[in-house]
Structure 1
Amino acid sequence: MNIKIFFLTGIILFSTTSYADHDKGHVDVVVDTLTPRAAAGQVKFNENCAACHGFNGQGTKIGPPLIHDIYNPGHHDNGSFTRAVLKGVQQHHWQYGNMPPQPQVGFSEMANIMAFVREVQEQNGIYRKEHKM
């Protein structure tokens, strides 16, 4: 099992660094010290979400970066992330296609993943902004 995780991590790292300039869908992400909850969320994010959203949420050729101002809490609150995981989401900001539901991610894992995403967003200067339509 550890060998599979090792190879998956290598593939993810290669794919995210190889496509760094794809339509500005990739961002450079800095991850500093995390709370224990967010650190647990980082592990679950990289196991369940990184194949599309990139290692630490930096984006890939097939999925958008989540460490991006579009996903600030004023525009996409935690409920929108939860609904996306539970029900999937129709493409609306990026040209990657629809996101399917992720039934393998449990509620406590989702909470930890959200803690991770929000902490890393703040570490990268992304804060709540009032959404204006």
Structure 2
Amino acid sequence: MARPASRNAPATRLSALAWLAGICLVASALSGCGTADEIDGRALFANNCAVCHGPSGEGAAQGPALVDGRYLPDHLSDEGVAAAIRNGVPERQFDFGPMPASPRLDDDEVDAIVEVVRELQREAGLLEP
């Protein structure tokens, strides 16, 4: 004998779909902050670096220009730039004082900032496009 269809079947299906969508949203949120490609490196640079290094990396009263030969990949690797961001830099060549560490930035965010530094160097004509 065939079982009669429940009058609540559409509501049950809709409730199940809403529950599944909620699970997917939570799983997506818990999967991390995204890759360096998905992170807005320009915003990170603006919020963490530009006050000292200038919005275009041209330098400011508080920090040296990043669009300078000393910071190009053949002199300072991407890993070196990342280490400076993570760990800070003691006062060395300049009179700006030490660069503070940024321990609250995760690896993807640091990588995104490094890419912005290289983009700024390309825009300044220091690196090939």
TM-score tier, shorter chain, comes to: 0.5 to 0.7
Compared with structure 1, are the counterparts of its residues 37 and 57 closer, same or farther at alpha carbon in structure 2 (3 Å cutoff)? Answer: farther
Instruction: Report whether the alignment pairs 1:124 with 2:124.
Output: yes
Q: Please list the CA deviations of residues 14-53 of structure 1 after superposition, one character each: whole Å capped at 9, or x if unmatched.
A: xxxxxxxxxxxxxxxxxxxxxx949821111001111211
Structure 1: distance between partners of 2:92 and 2:47: 25
Moved over 6 A (4+): none
Counterpart in the other structure of 2:42: 42
Unaligned runs of 5+ in 2: 1-35
| Counterpart Cα distance in 2 of 1:48 and 1:104 | 11
Please state how far the C-alpha of 1:93 moved relative to its aligned partner: 2.8
Within 5 Å, which residues of 2 pair with 1:1-133?
37=37, 40-127=40-127
> Does structure 2 retain, via aligned residues, the 8 Å contact 1:37–1:115?
no
SS at match of 2:40: helix
Distance 2:64 2:105 in 1: 19
SS of the residue corresponding to residue 55 of structure 1 reads coil
Q: Is the 8 A contact 1:59 1:65 kept in 2?
A: yes
Mind listing any 5+ residue stretches in structure 1 that lack a counterpart? 1-35, 129-133
Give the TM-score normalised by the residue count of structure 2.
Answer: 0.63
Length, aligned pairs only = 93
Give the TM-score taking structure 1 as reference length.
0.62
For the pair shown, the structure with the greater C-alpha radius of gyration is: 2
